[in-house]
Structures are given as structure tokens and as C-alpha cells.
Amino acid sequence: MLPIPILIVASFFIGAGILHFVLLSFFASIVPPYFNEPEALVKISGVFELLGGLGVLLPTTRKWAGWGLIALCVAVLPANVHMAMNTDQFQNIPVALLYLRLPLQALIIWFIWKATQHPVRMK
């Protein structure tokens, strides 16, 4: 049985990866305008979320997948900042949530690191 933190990370990123394809236009809309090809970037990040989510499930790839997911969280930070700085463009999302995404990103990064870099010993 896999540790619960690993299952949480895997579920979160596999789900998010799938949503990047299901809600492609929404995710493309949050890509800052100074990036080219927003749909391609969303698809690429979706693939890496899926790969990272699957990678944390395997003990042999867990640490590298964890570092990859941490890098991905840092890479998407400009989208979170863009949303917080342009709340008028995202009126269907409560402003508080747009700002909460920023510290939440740090918490997610910490949780990924804790779950994947310090494995729980099974008895």
C-alpha cells in the first residue's frame, strides 16, 4: 500500500493533468499574454502533470518525479501572479481565491517535497 501523501500528490496531478485537456480553453486563458502559444503550453504542462503524477507512484522514479512537479509548480507561478494582478479578467473566480493561489503554491511545493523526498517506511 502506498503512503497517503503519495496518493494525494499522484491524484492531484493526474487529475490536474487531465483537466488541462478537458478545460483547455480555460487554462489557455490564464497563461500570461507575454507567453506565446498558450494552448501548447497548457498541453505541455498537462503532459508533465500526468507524468509527474504517475512517476510519484513508482519508488524508482518518485524522487525525480517530485523534483519535476516542484519545477512545474514554479514554472506555472507566472499564471497565478497574472490572475492575481488581473482580477478583472477572471470575474467568475472570487478575488480571494486568486490571491490565495499564491501562498497555496508554496504549500503544494512543500507537500510534494515532503511526500517524495522523505519516504515513509512501511512496516
Q: For residue 123, is it within any domain?
A: no
pTM for the structure as a whole: 0.90
| Residue 81: Cβ-neighbour burial (10 angstroms; 0-12, 13-18, 19+) | middle
Give Cα separations from 1 to 12, 63, 81, 90 (angstroms): 18, 18, 37, 41
Q: Is the predicted pLDDT of residue 120 greater than 60, yes or no?
A: no
121 — pLDDT class (breaks 50, 70, 90):
low
**57 is a domain residue:** yes
Confidence of residue 72 (pLDDT cuts 50, 70, 90): very high
Q: Is the residue at 43 inside a domain? A: yes
Q: Answer yes or no: is 122 within a domain.
A: no
Domain enclosing residue 54, as ranges: 4-116
15: in domain: yes
CB atoms within 10 A of CB 111: 14
Predicted confidence band at 119 (pLDDT cuts at 50, 70, 90)?
low
CA 24 – CA 18 distance, rounded (Å) = 10
- pLDDT-derived band at 77, boundaries 50, 70, 90: very high
Q: Name the nearest CA neighbour of 110 among 2, 26, 5.
A: 5
Count of domains in the chain? 1
121 in a structural domain: no
> Is the predicted pLDDT of residue 114 greater than 90, yes or no?
yes
pLDDT of residue 118: 73
Q: How confident is the model at residue 122 (pLDDT cuts 50, 70, 90)?
A: very low
Residue 38 forms part of a structural domain: yes
Q: How far apart are CA 1 and CA 6, in angstroms?
A: 10
Q: Is pLDDT at 123 greater than 60 in this prediction?
A: no
Rounded-to-integer distance, Cα 23 and Cα 27, Å: 6
Query: Does residue 100 form part of some domain?
Result: yes
